Amino acid sequence: MGLVFEVRPSEVAEDDRGLDGPKEMVAKNAALKADAVAGEFPRSLILGSDTTVAFEATILSKPGDLKEAAEMLQQLSGREHTVYTAVSLRWLQGQTTVDFVETSTVKFKDFPESTIEAYFRQVNPLDKAGAYGIQEAREMIIESVTGSIENVMGLPIQGLGEKLLELGFDFSDQK
């Protein structure tokens, strides 16, 4: 999008249990992050986001170890799952509070355990919801994506751009 920005991580404790479902979970986490940072920078437009992977009724957060990561990919092999990304925009000075969630459907190839091992040699699955990232070695495991690929990466930039324009923010001269 060509925006100039600063990364300011929040120090909030995220809730990855998803007791109300994946959509609600990411929405709450994104809002927590944005609200925490907005309080420190009331004159700035703040963006908080959160992404998770859900397979059927199960939320697949970041795995704790390689064994759990391999189990996640085995579970997803040959199947579709949904990626949820929530975006929360805050501008306290402008009294702006906007939240939205985008979803994408990802279909994995049907692959053997040897593919998982080869994938892990190229990609660190431990810092990624669902134990995979679409940015690296996607040809090894992903068959197709319906919806925004950027959403799967963790920030739906098309939807964000539309929302910013709706709010009157035009950053087209930033490019």
SS (H, E, C) the chain: CCCCCCCCCCCCCCCCCCCCCHHHHHHHHHHHHHHHHHHHCCCCCEEEEEEEEEECCEEECCCCCHHHHHHHHHHHCCCEEEEEEEEEEEECCCCEEEEEEEEEEEEECCCCHHHHHHHHHHCCHHHCHHHCCCCCCHHHHEEEEECCHHHHHCCCHHHHHHHHHHCCCCCHHHC
Is 170 catalytic? The answer is no
* Catalytic residue (one of 15, 20, 35, 50): 50
Q: In the block, which residue shows the tokens 């944005």?
A: 34
Catalytic sites, residue numbers: 50
